[in-house]
Amino acid sequence: RLEKDFREALHHHHFTLAYQPIMDVKTGKVAKLEALARWKHPERGYISPEIFIALAEENSMIVELGNQILEMACKQWCKWRKLGLEFKLALNLSAQQLAHPDLSERIKTTLEHYDIPPHFLELELTETTAMLNVEASVMQLKSLRNLGLEIAIDDFGTGYSSLHYLKHLPIDRLKIDQSFIRDLTENEQDGTIVSTIISMAQHLKLEVIAEGVETQEQKNVLRKKQCTHVQGYLYSPP
């Protein structure tokens, strides 16, 4: 039933995007915005993206949804630019999108169509997504980066992490998963893990974003640990 409704929603372009700011710790300014997909079901109300993204992945509708999301985000970017606002945008990418041979061509054409310089777009993918087919991922990510896009590893620390491949993946930043941030102020082990990720990232010349920052205390701890970017309800919900 949900799948049928999903197809219908896809057909009628009923998905929307919510944007959540990613903040620069030092300047306190918005560094970029992450686009998060939203679906308001006519009877059931908002359905969690965890549910409909998984459904879309199972039924190979994620590529079509991803294409619509790319279009929506680009249109929104143009609206903001007309108002004098130039934000970098981060989009989430799923495995099937990454594996799709047309991905970088489609992104290139879309950015050209909307006259958006590629460095305004960043793609987030999980370690697990990147590791499904490492060679293919490396090639795809290289071609995206050659276009001028930036790449972030999402939910870092929760997936199939291979430090060996981290060295080979052409990426720009890591997003520390919110599960490490949640108890950061009480749990010493989480503190150690977060410090270790930040220090490793610094050595690899990667930027770090901490996700799920909800309190001032968490932010203060992260700042002390030299985390440069934060995202979470403390600043704004999506």
Residues forming the site for ligand C2E (CB under 6 A): 20, 36-37, 48-50, 53, 69, 92-94, 154-155, 178, 212-214, 232-233, 238
Distance in Å, CB of 3 to ligand C2E, minimum: 17
One character per residue 179-218, x = contact with Ca ion (rule: CB under 5 A): --------------------------------x-------
- In whole angstroms, what is the distance from residue 238 CA to residue 233 CA? 8
Cβ contact 111:121 at 8 Å? yes
Please report whether residue 124 would count as binding Ca ion according to CB under 5 A: yes
Q: Least Å distance between CB 24 and Ca ion? A: 18
Q: Of Ca ion, ligand C2E, none, which one sits near residue 21, judging by CB under 5 to 8 A according to partner kind?
A: none
Instruction: Count interface residues toward Ca ion (CB under 5 A).
Output: 5
92 binds Ca ion (CB under 5 A): yes
Q: If contact means CB under 5 to 8 A according to the sort of partner, which of ligand C2E, Ca ion, none does residue 150 touch?
A: none
Rank residues 67 and 133 by Cβ distance to ligand C2E and give the closer one.
67
